[in-house]
Amino acid sequence: MKVISAAAVSLAVLNTLALGSILPREKYVKIPFVKNQDGAGNVLGKRSNGHEKFVLANEQSFYSVELAIGTPSQSLTVLLDTGSADLWVPSKGNPYCGSVMDCDQYGVFDKTKSSTFKANKSSPFYAAYGDGTFAQGAFGQDRLKYNGLDLSGLSFAVANESNSTFGVLGIGLPALEVTYSGKVAVVDKKSYEYDNFPLFLKRSGAIDATAYSLFLNDESQSSGSILFGAVDHSKYEGRLYTVPLVNLYRSQGYQHPVAFDVTLHGIGLQTDRHNTTLTATKIPALLDSGTTLTYLPSQAVALLAKSLNATYSKALGYYEYACPSSDNDTSVAFDFGGFHINAPVSDFTMQTSVGGTCVLAVIPQAGNATAILGDSFLRNAYVVYDLDNYEVSLAQAKYGTGAEDIEAIKSTVPSATRAPGYNSTWSNYASVTSGGNIFTTASKNKNTTMNTTSSAKPTHRNKRALQDVAANSATSARSALALPLLAFLLILTVISS
């Protein structure tokens, strides 16, 4: 899903490298992508009843790739999104462009200027995203290139109406395609899957398995990479553990999972000296590169806030606490079933304009909510998405510039082993309660021995002390949080097969 604050979208400064390469011999496709970041230090204010003016630094980021479409080719930058499954680009002539928003920054596609564009006869496109944006148009095909990689024949939508300034390259499961589970499929009563980007690569023979590895890289780095059909063993430490996707929409008639939801077995805080379990309640969690921040059920956020000595500020709409010092080694441990991914607290910390005051950038979700583990979490993980087997393999990300160690995925993910808690998946919503122990498996999975991906402490090194992943204001963050699920459910509730 795409959940980026509007401010992020308009403030992001683009700086695209396109360095893709195909090595047919090894059968994988590496796509480096660029982190669009706002380096200008923009700040946006929010008044709190005339008392004080708090300002949140806005330094949003999102991950993108650059595509060349048509004849002659037109260059466009699109968001890379594991939370959706279609590629679409904004069209020239989109009425939202101009006064409402600047569409030139990321490019628009003018199909009338391409001699090779072919429209699909009756394949309408409509998508609504978590950040409130929408796009509608129709599918077609054209010459399509990602650097050296020829993607001609891949279906993509051209959106003649959208209030998003950039298109999206959705690389999720085909069941999430708009033609299958989207509004258009429902309205037209014509539901089908087509070969989206990952399937297209497999079908074309470029890769052997519909699987890819996502490495967002260190916060301070300007690019990460996605490796289709392979794993780069140099990009993670400890073991690569496999967990199954959970099917949250079975009751709506979906036989298989449609999204990258996994079971979060609990959350804790880890320092050199102490491990503290906050909760061992199972929560379904979406691994979503298209979302910048991280969202957890409100009770889980309250437990996290309490352990950080953060107090809720009505004025700000966030939990507020004294900014951690730059050498603070506290990390949040996410348990995925007998192994952890650790993320430094700084990744979930936003600085305010008031000296020394920070807010917690983990957004509470009310009700029976799925957690969304966005970029602020995903940066810390190496994630292998296995679309063929409905599994994900995770390990603690390893940053640095070591030599690549790439191994192609034939049918199963090489060197990955099932997590100790593989069989112990989420089954129904329960309110998140404190207690339990995620730092030993003795209490939970009798069969298993505890293994963290790395017994060494998490690599914080010289990460910036504060991660200013900020929403433009508390208000917009709140409105953004209700929407992802809404949009998602809207799409998914109606179909039953």
Ligand X SMILES: *[C@@H]1O[C@H](CO)[C@@H](O)[C@H](O)[C@H]1NC(C)=O
Which residues, listed in sequence order, are joined to residue 263 by a DSSP beta bridge? Answer: 284
By the rule CB under 6 A, 112 interacts with ligand X? no
Report the distance separating Cα 315 and Cα 216, nearest Å: 33
Read off the amino acid at residue 419. A
How many angstroms separate the CA atoms of 447 and 425, rounded? 15
Site for ligand X in 207-266 (CB under 6 A): none
* Among 15, 116, 252, 417, interactor with ligand X by CB under 6 A: 417
**Residue 86 known to be catalytic:** no
Q: Which of 48, 5, 45 is nearest to 314 (CA)?
A: 48
**Nearest distance, CB of residue 181 and ligand X, angstroms:** 13
**Alpha carbons 218 and 226: distance in angstroms, whole number:** 14
Torsion of CA 264, 268, 269, 274, to 10 degrees: -140
Among 26, 110, 161, 388, binds ligand X (CB under 6 A): 161
Mapped to the 3 state alphabet, what secondary structure does 247-314 carry? CCCHHHCCCCCCCCEEEECEEEEECCCCEEEEECCCEEEEECCCECCEEEEHHHHHHHHHHCCCEEEC
Q: Which of 62, 11, 8 lies closest to 33 in space, CA to CA?
A: 62
DSSP string, 444-489: T-TT-----S-SSPP--TT--S------SSHHHHHHHHHHHHHHHH
Nearer to ligand X, 20 or 130 (CB): 130
DSSP lists the bridge partners of residue 333 as: 268, 342
CB 87 within 8 A of CB 98: no
Q: Does 270 bind ligand X (CB under 6 A)?
A: yes
The rounded distance, in Å, linking the Cα atoms of 170 and 9 is 17
Q: Does 439 interact with ligand X (rule: CB under 6 A)? A: yes
Work out which of 64, 77, 114, 163 binds ligand X, going by CB under 6 A: 163
**Smallest distance from ligand X to CB 79, Å:** 14
The one among 10, 15, 44, 194 contacting ligand X by CB under 6 A: 194
Contact range with ligand X by CB under 6 A, out of 24-32, 286-294, 394-402, 420-428: 420-428
Measured CA to CA, the distance from residue 413 to residue 486 in angstroms comes to 33
**Nearest distance, CB of residue 456 and ligand X, angstroms:** 8
CB of 348 to ligand X, least distance (A): 10
Site for ligand X in 275-304 (CB under 6 A): 275
**Binders of ligand X among 329-368, rule CB under 6 A?**
330, 340, 345, 367-368
Site for ligand X in 6-25 (CB under 6 A): 6
Alpha carbon distance 145, 77 (integer Å):
12
Task: Supply the minimum distance, in Å, between the C-beta of residue 270 and ligand X.
Answer: 6
Residues β-bridged to residue 81:
170
- Regarding 420 and contact with ligand X (CB under 6 A), the answer is yes
Our finding on whether 92 is near ligand X (CB under 6 A) is no
* Count, residues near ligand X per rule CB under 6 A: 47
By CB under 6 A, residue 326 contacts ligand X: no
Q: Which of 288, 335, 375, 386 is catalytic?
A: 288
Give yes or no for residue 428 binding ligand X (CB under 6 A).
Answer: yes
Is residue 288 part of the annotated active site? The answer reads yes
Cβ neighbours of 93 (radius 10 Å)? 12
Does residue 72 have a cis bond before it (omega within 30 degrees)? Answer: yes
Figure out which of the listed residues 451, 465, 490, 494 binds ligand X, where binding follows CB under 6 A.
451
Within 10 Å of residue 247's Cβ, how many Cβ atoms? 18
Structure tokens belonging to residue 136: 């509608």
- Strand duo 61-69 + 74-81: pairing: antiparallel
Choosing from 61, 133, 292, 352, the residue that interacts with ligand X (CB under 6 A) is 133
Does position 126 interact with ligand X (CB under 6 A)? The reply is no
| CA end-to-end distance (rounded Å), the chain | 23
Q: How far is the CB of 402 from ligand X (least distance, A)?
A: 20
CB of 159 to ligand X, least distance (A): 8
Question: Which residue from 10, 208, 313, 324 is in contact with ligand X, where contact means CB under 6 A?
Answer: 324
CB of 469 to ligand X, least distance (A): 16
Stretch of 11-19, 134-142, 208-216, 276-284 lying at the interface with ligand X (CB under 6 A): 134-142
Residues making contact with ligand X (CB under 6 A): 6, 95, 120, 123, 132-134, 138-139, 155, 160-161, 163, 179, 194, 270, 273-275, 308-309, 321-322, 324-325, 328, 330, 340, 345, 367-368, 417-418, 420, 422-424, 428-429, 439, 445, 447-449, 451-452, 455
Q: Which residues are catalytic?
A: 81, 288
